[in-house]
Structure 1
């Protein structure tokens, strides 16, 4: 009888121990999931795409392939980044801006912004040829629902949380668009017009109805401004002395500097790429504030 009681006591203790272990494991599951997310982050090709992810999911672990202040036109993936591509749960791209990068066609789960489809599912929707579409708040607002879907499918974010963030994020994009509209009015840009060396901001200013009086380079970052093109551009500036010269902090602006020296037109230095981990709202606000150079007032 004693042996029987001892046996039952041992069995009860063993059951309690197993139950305790299972309960402790269940408690650890959220931290395990969190650690996995940290180990396998969302990868983006370009820094401003990280801002779009953070707009929807502020606590997401996002890493950028393009280093800060690097030239995307002359970028090559390192062996370490190729390894990261093979481990990531999701790569977010903008193919019209990163199409020249080698190794991006590898078999990795990816989502192409502004391309009309998820690369794996071939779901088509409207798109056009605009590059640097993250600079246009209207394009951002229309693309956010598709980015939400891709992030949910990656299982790296909470579906409930990111769905709840969608409408506020779209409203923030609309607010930024309205600030650009006010800036156009404040600085009379529809009368002044702009000239650029690189077409980074062309899509946004065209959408705002601002005249583009000249673009000296192509989207392929070609050195296309010879003496004749510079003379023609200078003539345009003489005829339109209030035209703003839009420079980009991520590209050479030698031609614009030369034109400014010979015409006296104002140069506005904008940043089309931002920094990795910078929120999209902060990124756009910095560029809006750059125009305060014209009058010393912030619109």
Structure 2
């Protein structure tokens, strides 16, 4: 009799645990299903979205770690990833060229948030930016007019996420679309936006302060991608060897760059281009500093982490 009771009790406990497990599984599934599904072209934008929305969003990155946004081609699985997303984040058509064709054929182009469009930017550089560039290039008494090549010396820097003020505008756009998807959470989402914007102000102030000793020092870059950061944090614009990665550098341009880079502290290069950049660093007698613009390091979890490591790399570059 006692044995039967114990068997009954054990069976009842087991059944209760199974039921509890099923209930919890359904709750977890429902929670996951209720998350806003965001697909980001590059990891820095994914970090910003996750940083902003936290557990209320599932954020994925389309571009693999070993790929360049300039030369990438979407696979069918990645097209499905974009189509299934509630929100698609990108910087600019000229940067993520792999999204141009997809966006034209997309069933839901209204889901796309393009940072460049949110900023109201145009491809042509404004007169103020012309003046700012010319001032930065001639400030040192050298001819720095070949920073991006004669044919694109005034091209817009599309690494727009490197400026916290731009990120605040992106965050506002993300929250705008999130409210459309979750109108009942409007008050909470707006509160998250205000908190995040304040955090961005603090990030810009603290990193600008760290870089303040170097505001008159200039540096070289393997490719043109640092002016947005420089302008946000009070630095001189980088003297860039190429406008985009993998661009062939002519002997004529190398000769001109010798003068432009005279007195530069170092040459910055992304990890994927460091091997090629080393040759030019030796040629111009500059130390080479690798920098992680695409946030490939998995330990970078927040935008604060991201800007901190960029600031550290630039500080190392500009320090004697």
Q: Same fold judged by TM-score > 0.5?
A: yes
Of 237, 247, 255, which residue of structure 2 is paired with 1:223? 247
The offset of 1:32, in angstroms, is 5.5
The offset of 1:48, in angstroms, is 0.9
How far apart, CA to CA, are the structure 1 residues paired with 2:115 and 2:172?
12
Stretches of structure 1 lacking an aligned partner (at least 5 in a row): 1-26, 118-124
- Cα deviation, 1:248-292, whole Å, max 9, x if unaligned, reads 2244562x4233213432322211111478322211122222245
Paired residue secondary structure (2:267)? strand
Matched, 1:245 2:267: yes
Q: Name the structure 2 match of 1:113.
A: 114
Please say if residues 247 and 268 of structure 1, whose CA atoms lie closer than 8 Å, have aligned partners that are also in contact.
yes
- Cα deviation, 1:154-173, whole Å, max 9, x if unaligned, reads 33994333211112211221
- Cα deviation, 1:174-194, whole Å, max 9, x if unaligned, reads 1221233223323x2x32212
Q: Name the structure 2 match of 1:120.
A: none
Q: Flag the structure with more relative contact order, 1 or 2, with Cα contacts below 8 A and sequence separation at least 6.
A: 1
Please say if residues 57 and 157 of structure 1, whose CA atoms lie closer than 8 Å, have aligned partners that are also in contact.
no
Of 28, 38, 55, which residue of structure 1 is paired with 2:51? 55
Q: Name the structure 2 match of 1:9.
A: none
How far apart, CA to CA, are the structure 2 residues paired with 1:296 and 1:191?
12
Q: Name the structure 1 match of 2:135.
A: none
User: Cα 1:137–1:28, aligned 2, differ >3 Å: closer, same or farther?
Assistant: same
User: Cα 1:90–1:112, aligned 2, differ >3 Å: closer, same or farther?
Assistant: closer
Please say if residues 56 and 169 of structure 1, whose CA atoms lie closer than 8 Å, have aligned partners that are also in contact.
yes
How far apart, CA to CA, are the structure 2 residues paired with 1:69 and 1:57?
27
The offset of 1:94, in angstroms, is 1.8
How far apart, CA to CA, are the structure 2 residues paired with 1:233 and 1:203?
21
User: Cα 1:245–1:183, aligned 2, differ >3 Å: closer, same or farther?
Assistant: farther
Q: Name the structure 1 match of 2:64.
A: 67
Please say if residues 219 and 317 of structure 2, whose CA atoms lie closer than 8 Å, have aligned partners that are also in contact.
no
Please say if residues 70 and 97 of structure 2, whose CA atoms lie closer than 8 Å, have aligned partners that are also in contact.
no
Taking structure 2 as the reference length, the TM-score comes to 0.69
Paired residue secondary structure (1:192)? coil
Q: Name the structure 1 match of 2:175.
A: 148
How far apart, CA to CA, are the structure 2 residues paired with 1:44 and 1:50?
5
User: Cα 1:272–1:44, aligned 2, differ >3 Å: closer, same or farther?
Assistant: same
Q: How many residues align?
A: 258
Q: Name the structure 2 match of 1:12.
A: none
The offset of 1:79, in angstroms, is 1.2
Taking structure 1 as the reference length, the TM-score comes to 0.74
Please say if residues 113 and 147 of structure 1, whose CA atoms lie closer than 8 Å, have aligned partners that are also in contact.
no
Q: Find the structure with the greater CA-based Rg.
A: 1
Paired residue secondary structure (2:172)? helix
- In angstroms, what is the RMSD of aligned CA positions? 3.2
How far apart, CA to CA, are the structure 1 residues paired with 2:184 and 2:25?
18
